[in-house]
Amino acid sequence: MVATIVLVAFVWWSRWDSIFRDKERLQVPVMLRIAVAAFVIVIVLHLVFVDWSGLGMDLLIPIVIVGLLVGFAEETLFRGILLRGLRTDRRTELTVAVGTSVAFGVFHLTNLVTGSPVPAVLNQVLLATLTGAILYSFRRIGGLLLPAMIAHGLWDISLFLPPANPTRSSSLIGLALVVAIPVLGLVALVAVAVTDRRAPSEA
């Protein structure tokens, strides 16, 4: 909540344009649409396995609030402010996609402070980097930051809600984290690399 307030105040003070909406719509490779659609399917599958019948409002409300705030704050920072800053000095859109994704991944190194094991944190950094590429795809497809915020928030919410069948849910989530998300993230970055290898003024 504090981070959200600080970010909103900074954006209002700096009066940066194109943070929440692109000035111009960029070409959208088909593979980005596929990555986004698959990511939505993974979120839906996560939510299907939630123990909705045994979920109390005392747990649901905090998880939803935190998920939405994290989605808003982190997307404003990475796919908003940082993306806006990288889209200067004739940088390619590939640089923008990779830069925002890597920064998002490295940001998760802060989990070392909480005592998380180094291998686990490094895995999380890699996963977050590739997830960032998918969230970049959400931003690029519509030219708006809001879809990435919603997707990010729902992703976090789906991970923290208690599953009805822990064994089956753990297998599904593990498969998504180990296979689906890395593959989708790599597909998104490759698609951007193929489409946007040159600087905008050289295209």
201 confidence band (pLDDT: 50, 70, 90): very low
63 confidence band (pLDDT: 50, 70, 90): very high
In a domain, residue 16? The reply is no
Average model confidence (pLDDT) across the chain: 88
In a domain, residue 110? The reply is yes
In a domain, residue 71? The reply is yes
> What Cα–Cα distance (Å) separates residue 28 from each residue in 14, 31, 150, 157, 182?
29, 8, 20, 28, 20
In a domain, residue 90? The reply is yes
In a domain, residue 115? The reply is yes
- Which domain does 53 fall in, by range? 38-197
Assess whether pLDDT exceeds 70 at residue 203: no
176 confidence band (pLDDT: 50, 70, 90): low
pLDDT tens track for 12-38: 998 888 899 998 889 999 999 999 999
pLDDT tens track for 65-76: 999 999 999 999
> What's the token pair of residue 160?
């923290």
- Whole-structure pTM over 0.85, yes or no? yes
- In a 13 Å sphere around the CA of 83, the CA atoms on its Cβ side amount to 30
Residue 101's region, left for phi above 0, alpha for psi from -120 to 50, else beta, is alpha
In a domain, residue 107? The reply is yes
In a domain, residue 4? The reply is no
Report the domain count for the chain. Answer: 1
In a domain, residue 12? The reply is no
> What Cα–Cα distance (Å) separates residue 115 from each residue in 13, 63, 104, 109, 121?
35, 22, 20, 11, 10
45 confidence band (pLDDT: 50, 70, 90): confident
**Closest listed residue to residue 184, CA positions, set 25, 42, 26, 27:** 42
Higher pLDDT, 51 or 72: 72
DSSP-based three-state secondary structure for 124? helix
In whole angstroms, give the CA distance from residue 92 to residue 77: 20
**Closest listed residue to residue 138, CA positions, set 202, 74, 65, 194:** 74
> What Cα–Cα distance (Å) separates residue 29 from each residue in 40, 79, 140?
17, 18, 10
